Amino acid sequence: MNHPSSLDLEAFAVGEPLPAGFADHVEACTACAELVGKLQALVATGPSAAEAGAAVARAVARAEAMIEVANDAPPARQEPKRRLWLLATSVITPLAAAAAILLLARSESLQPASAPASSPATTVTRIQMAPLPSAVAAAEPETQFKGGAQVAVVRERAGQQARFSSTVRVRPGDRIRVEVALDREQAILGAVLGDDGSYLELMPDAVRGPGTHFSEKSAKFDAAETRGTILIGTREAVARARSTHQLDGVTTLRIEWESP
């Protein structure tokens, strides 16, 4: 005889509704009925109202000491990054374009027929600029990136900021903000999933363009020891990771506790 799972029998014992036929099986099966009877006896010996009240009060105190969400401004680190970006776009890019034009002009002036075969400079130029056979060129796929998101964390501790691209260690008073670099437009959501099952969204689900994005919210850590994982991915992938704790399909970064 096939019996229901232990989990279902336990749910039945606490009075949760279960699929049709389940109760019939329990009625007909002596072993299952016996187990459900034992479980119901155990449930009856559960915490009294006073005990439950005391436990909840302790849990309230504990919960209040946990993660605090802050909606303040992005970290000051953004400013130097912006300056670097300006430097890259205003100086480096024009220089690179000029170098490319020079190379192209030089290669056109050094045609293979007019150059001595023994000239090393010409050989190098020919290798660099050799056109692909048309069939090969047509079959060559266009450049593609693997995609996904590069995740880092900016940790603020006592006014000092540090950036981590692998495990970040936190202690009471630390605040973290997530930094996500995208190579193309993607709909992503960013969150912290605590090992205890707690869940905190730092970047709401939204379509974000290529570039670097900081989380709209930061997470501040209080005295309670906290470990978890930062999850970045589509809303569905993050939800799946949250419910199953299987991290396939999301980009992650680990948060570990550091004793003060």
Which residues of the chain form contacts with another protein (CB under 8 A)?
Answer: 1-11, 13-16, 19, 29, 31-32, 35, 38-39, 42-49, 52, 55-56, 58-60, 62-63, 66-67, 194-199, 227, 240, 243-246
**Whole-angstrom distance, CA of residue 122 vs CA of residue 221:** 63
Least CB distance to another protein at residue 173 (A): 19
CB of 45 to another protein, least distance (A): 6
Strands (E) across 17-138 are located at 68-70
Specify the residue, 28 or 76, whose C-beta has the smaller distance to another protein: 28
> Shortest distance, CB of residue 90 to another protein, whole angstroms?
46
The distance of closest approach from Cβ of residue 160 to another protein in the complex, given in angstroms and rounded to an integer, is: 28
Give the three-state DSSP class for 244: helix
Closer residue to another protein (CB): 15 or 133? 15
Q: How far is CA 180 from the centre of its chain?
A: 9
Question: Rounded distance, CA 236 to CA 188, Å?
Answer: 10
Q: In sequence order, which ranges of 130-190 are alpha helices (DSSP H)? A: 134-139
Q: Which is nearer to another protein, 57 or 104 (CB)?
A: 57
- Closest separation in Å from C-beta 254 to another protein: 12
Neighbour count for residue 171 (Cβ, 10 Å): 15
CB-count burial class (<10 Å; 0-12, 13-18, 19+) for 193: buried
For the stretch 29-56, what's the b/e string if a residue is b when 16 or more beta carbons lie within 10 angstroms of its beta carbon? beebeebbeebeeeeeeeeeeeeeeeee
The distance of closest approach from Cβ of residue 101 to another protein in the complex, given in angstroms and rounded to an integer, is 52
Q: Is 54 helix (H, G, I), strand (E, B) or coil?
A: helix
d(CA 171, CA 118): 67
